[in-house]
A and B are shown apart, each in its own frame.
Chain A
Amino acid sequence: AQSVAQPEDQVNVAEGNPLTVKCTYSVSGNPYLFWYVQYPNRGLQFLLKYITGDNLVKGSYGFEAEFNKSQTSFHLKKPSALVSDSALYFCAVRPSNDYKLSFGAGTTVTVRA
């Protein structure tokens, strides 16, 4: 069975500062990893994914994530946060040999002006 942990319920940063949202996972076999963002009263929006290849993945809105196999982590980063990045962020994992996508509990990001 697979699982995802997002150890921080909330992350607060000042605008212009770096933003990191942590994610660790547990899966049998090779993982497919995803980040999604949810704004209030909206559905989830896809940000980026890691399937194979380069460990550093670049996605939408200036976000990137680094896959670390030894630490089973897939942290989301943005060099300079914007107030508009304030939202709920979900990490998700899917084993390469399965169809079920498992989500973490989510991390609320607040970027203050």
Chain B
Amino acid sequence: DSGVTQTPKHLITATGQRVTLRCSPRSGDLSVYWYQQSLDQGLQFLIQYYNGEERAKGNILERFSAQQFPDLHSELNLSSLELGDSALYFCASSFGGGGANEQYFGPGTRLTVT
């Protein structure tokens, strides 16, 4: 168990809908990262927050947004969902915000868009 929690575990929704994925980092970690894992795209970095501020942005669509709250938990919002958004979404955390820190991954949220 990495200490990173994600809810929900599974999510099934229809095209055009909006969903929110939640992540609680390990105790003491200040950085939260979001990743998307799919068979065709592999593991893609979406976005990083450090102590409430956006730190780095990857291949995140404009339909997606995230935030990190004062208690350091984070939410990833996915809107106008398309079939291609079906994937496993991981949250990870690390103590620092820099590149040398290893990340600890949550169990993921499996999103199915029908």
A43 to B4, CA, bound (A): 10
The B-contacting residues of A in range 85-113, CB under 8 angstroms, are 90, 94-106
Q: A43-B2, A43-B4 are in contact. List 7 more A-B contacts (CB 8 A).
A: A43-B105, A45-B2, A94-B99, A96-B99, A99-B55, A100-B56, A101-B103
What is the number of contacts between chain A and chain B, taking CB atoms within 8 Å?
A: 55
Residue positions of B touching A, CB distance < 8 A: 2, 4, 33, 42-45, 48, 55-56, 58, 90, 92, 97-100, 102-108
Contact bitstring A65-87, B, C-beta under 8 A = 1, else 0: 00000000000000000000000
Q: Answer yes or no: A44 CB below 8 A from chain B CBs.
A: yes
**Beta-carbon contact of A106 and B43 below 8 Å:** yes
Q: A43-B4, A43-B90, A51-B100 are in contact. Are A100 and B106 (CB under 8 A)?
A: no
Q: A42-B107, A46-B104 are in contact. Are A102 and B45 (CB under 8 A)?
A: yes
**Beta-carbon contact of B105 and A45 below 8 Å:** yes
Q: A43-B2, A43-B90, A45-B2 are in contact. Are A99 and B48 (CB under 8 A)?
A: yes
